[in-house]
Chain A
Amino acid sequence: DTGVSQNPRHKITKRGQNVTFRCDPISEHNRLYWYRQTLGQGPEFLTYFQNEAQLEKSRLLSDRFSAERPKGSFSTLEIQRTEQGDSAMYLCASSGQTQETQYFGPGTRLLVL
């Protein structure tokens, strides 16, 4: 049973560039979540998918951010025109239909120069 995987694990980019991260949830999990964690803080919720439907978006998710889960399996999070303030750890989590616990992946560390 593999856990949640995320790619890439690290990304360094220049301000203004676009970046895309991928999350593969635990295979039988239909719920998928994205969080952002900055240094010294707990994770902050960004968005939530049930199957392919994006059901909730935090106000933290500005219009430069877009997330998709086209076939209800893996998900991508894209940040357009990156800013230095986007530097953070981006965490993905998944859970099953009848369980409350969210299981997290290893995260993608983004550094915007």
Chain B
Amino acid sequence: AQKITQTQPGMFVQEKEAVTLDCTYDTSDPSYGLFWYKQPSSGEMIFLIYQGSYDQQNATEGRYSLNFQKARKSANLVISASQLGDSAMYFCAMREGLWGGGADGLTFGKGTHLIIQP
């Protein structure tokens, strides 16, 4: 089974609208971290936001927020007031075993290609 599932291969959104990118995950580990990265056409992975499994509140970073629903195992990224520069690939990732015993590398989903239209 896939550990990270991103069901939207591509999305078109009008500039200034809010957009939600879906991510569901699969783990039996009680301690894990969830990440979102942006990858423009240049190729660099840009960190956006992080949510720990025991964080009480949903993470926010500027225009980015993470809608964390633990029981549903979902960690959707919300971008408010989208801009043309938000056009890129977006990847959801997970690291399990934050308290030890888990893999140190991140497991990534296949990504969502977001295109912001003027």
Chain B: minimal CB distance from A110 (Å): 12
| Given A100-B50, A100-B52, A104-B37, A91 contacting B45 (CB threshold 8 A) | yes
Chain B interfacial residues counted at CB < 8 A: 25
User: CB-CB contacts of B31-48 with A at 8 A, as 1s and 0s?
Assistant: 001010100001111110
Q: Provided the pairs A55-B104, A56-B105 are in contact, do residues A106 and B91 lie with their beta carbons within 8 angstroms?
A: no
Which residues from 47 to 102 on chain A have a C-beta closer than 8 Å to any C-beta of chain B? Answer: 48, 55-56, 58, 89, 91, 93, 100-102
Contact among B37, B98, B111 with A100 in the assembled complex (CB-CB below 8 Å)? B98
Are A105 and B44 interface neighbours, CB within 8 A?
Answer: yes
A107 adjacent to B43 (CB under 8 Å): yes
Partner pick for A106 among B42, B98, B106, CB 8 A cutoff: B42
Enumerate chain A residues within 8 angstroms of B91, measured Cβ to Cβ: 42-43
Chain A residues, CB < 8 A from B43: 89, 106-107, 109
Measured between beta carbons, the chain B residues less than 8 angstroms from A43 are: 45, 91, 106, 108
Q: Does B103 contact A (CB under 8 A)?
A: yes
Query: Bound state CA distance, A48 and B95, in angstroms?
Result: 13
B107 within 8 A of A: yes
